[in-house]
Amino acid sequence: TGKVRLVERYIYNRQQYVMYDSDVGHYVGFTPFGEKQARHWNSNPIRLKYMRAAVDTLCRYNYEVFRPFTVERR
């Protein structure tokens, strides 16, 4: 479970404009609008704290729940 990561991508018109990656720890913008959104979301410490906690509460928890059905299945 050490390599679990959360990636949240925002796509409009088949173009990714902003992304959150838990390995990076903040939002990254890819278009002018995405950069503006990323700056806005990165300036909100509560939102960043929620996203960092979501790795533990969502990803690692669900990994342990579904591991017998996915990883250990042969």
State pTM to two decimals.
Answer: 0.78
What is the predicted pLDDT for the residue at 68?
74
DSSP string, 40-55: HHHT-HHHHHHHHHHI
What is the predicted pLDDT for the residue at 4?
81
Flag whether 1 is in a domain: no
**What is the domain count for the chain?**
1
What is the predicted pLDDT for the residue at 1?
53
What are 18's strand-pairing partners? 10, 29
What is the predicted pLDDT for the residue at 2?
67
Residue 56: domain span: 7-71
CATH number of the domain bearing residue 64: 3.10.320.10
pLDDT by residue, tens only, the chain of 74 residues: 567 888 999 999 999 999 999 999 999 999 999 999 999 999 999 999 999 898 888 887 777 777 777 766 66
